[in-house]
């Protein structure tokens, strides 16, 4: 199959799940490329706004050809920015067809706005499209307001869900989560994101006896990540006499604002690359995430894949709650989180090798690639 991936967002603003799925499909022998237009925001990263290229160009990321463009967004004019983004992607697609021919299928990541533009391209070229959905109700609320909402975006997104050959939420719970905006009158099948299970492979840790237990948290310094719950919970753990460290990494965790919350036993590593994330996971005994909202936090899968248990809040989907390897606590409950951390420190009965195997069965590139391949084939055959 000739597959074109269209992400709604891409580096420098995340979105690497698109690249991971593209690599998984290419490994199965398919012709796969990515078409990406990134809207840069001056209030998000002023340096990127000015230094990123102004012309469309091609480059290669991990063996995948990316046809790339950067759009300078204008503050506070959402509708204009959206229309411009859609027009740029449609124009880029016209260029793409001239060079590579029509793809057999379009794979959009998030309905807003890759799914919508895929619908527009499908109408013009007669190419089927599918959507992987990653965005939760909480993120839609920021732009559309609380549901029910009469925001102008909603009918457009409803239409692209309805016309898609398949919508693939990364967790089943996401369908009900966003139904208050878009309903459920569309074809869907939950498919996990993929992680590099060969890279984040199992490695045994040193025996726990006679040494400090090492927790880690890999999350950006955003309110939704719950650091204001995690840090007090860790302080309680230390005050109870437990010998533990908390290693923290993520965007803005090395800022003055974050350092003001420092507690004894904490070590901050700032933003880490992929190699740094893996190394930190190998050096730690458990991962803890105090999030208030998540769709499918890949860091939990990466941690369990390397062979350590995780602690998370009850906002995470059922597919990540692997028995024996994932402890769930209520959101915003400092006491419960501290107790769970103490329990994980004393639990020596986790079969961590089996935990790693279960993650491979859920999210390995081969498993996810095969599921996508089947859905794509059916979409093309039925078009």
SS3 category, 357: helix
Q: Read off the pLDDT of each residue in 128-139 and give the average, rounded to a whole number.
A: 94
Tokens read off for 290: 């105090």
The predicted-structure confidence for 154-208, as pLDDT tens digits, reads as follows 999 999 999 999 999 999 999 999 999 999 999 999 999 999 999 999 999 888 8
pLDDT at 45 over 80: no
Name the one residue in this structure whose structure tokens are 């309805």. 162
Q: Which residues of 30-40 are buried (b: 16+ CB within 10 A; e: fewer)?
A: bebbbbbbbbb
| Residue 126: predicted pLDDT | 97
End-to-end CA distance of the chain: 14
Tokens read off for 274: 């992929």
The predicted-structure confidence for 324-374, as pLDDT tens digits, reads as follows 899 999 999 999 999 999 999 998 788 999 999 999 999 999 999 999 999
| pTM for this prediction | 0.89
* CA 135 – CA 169 distance, rounded (Å): 9
| Residue 184: predicted pLDDT | 93
């Amino acid at each position: 199959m000739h597959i074109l991936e269209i992400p709604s967002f891409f580096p420098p603003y995340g979105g690497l799940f698109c690249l991971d799925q593209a690599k998984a499909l290419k490994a199965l022998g398919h012709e796969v490329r990515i078409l990406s237009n990134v809207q840069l925001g001056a209030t998000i990263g002023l340096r990127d706004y000015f230094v990123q290229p102004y012309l469309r160009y091609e480059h290669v990321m991990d063996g995948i050809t990316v046809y790339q463009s950067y759009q300078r967004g204008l503050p506070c004019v959402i509708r204009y920015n959206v229309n411009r983004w859609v027009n740029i992607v449609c124009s880029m697609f016209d260029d793409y067809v001239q060079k590579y021919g029509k793809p057999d299928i379009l794979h959009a990541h998030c309905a807003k706005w890759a799914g919508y533009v895929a619908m527009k391209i499908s109408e013009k070229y007669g190419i089927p499209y599918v959507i992987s959905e990653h965005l939760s109700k909480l993120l839609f609320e920021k732009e559309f307001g609380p549901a029910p909402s009469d925001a102008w975006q909603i009918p457009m997104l409803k239409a692209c869900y309805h016309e898609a050959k398949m919508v693939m939420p990364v967790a089943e719970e996401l369908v009900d989560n966003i139904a208050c905006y878009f309903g459920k009158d569309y074809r869907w099948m939950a498919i996990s994101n993929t992680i590099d299970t060969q890279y984040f492979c199992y490695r045994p840790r040193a025996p726990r006896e006679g040494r400090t237990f090492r927790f880690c948290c890999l999350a950006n310094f955003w309110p939704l990540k719950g650091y204001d719950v995690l840090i007090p919970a860790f302080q309680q753990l230390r005050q109870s006499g437990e010998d533990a460290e908390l290693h923290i990494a993520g965007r803005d965790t090395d800022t003055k604002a974050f350092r003001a919350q420092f507690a004894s036993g904490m070590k901050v590593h700032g933003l880490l690359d992929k190699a740094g994330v893996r190394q930190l996971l190998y050096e730690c005994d458990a991962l803890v995430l105090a999030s208030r909202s998540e769709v499918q936090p890949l860091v939990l899968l990466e941690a369990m894949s390397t062979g350590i248990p995780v602690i998370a809040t009850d906002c995470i989907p059922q597919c990540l709650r692997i028995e024996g390897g994932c402890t769930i606590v209520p959101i915003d409950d400092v006491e419960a989180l501290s107790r769970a951390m103490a329990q994980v420190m004393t639990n020596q009965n986790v079969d961590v090798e089996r935990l790693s195997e279960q993650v491979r069965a859920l999210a390995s590139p081969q498993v996810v690639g095969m599921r996508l391949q089947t859905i794509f084939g059916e979409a093309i055959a039925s078009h």
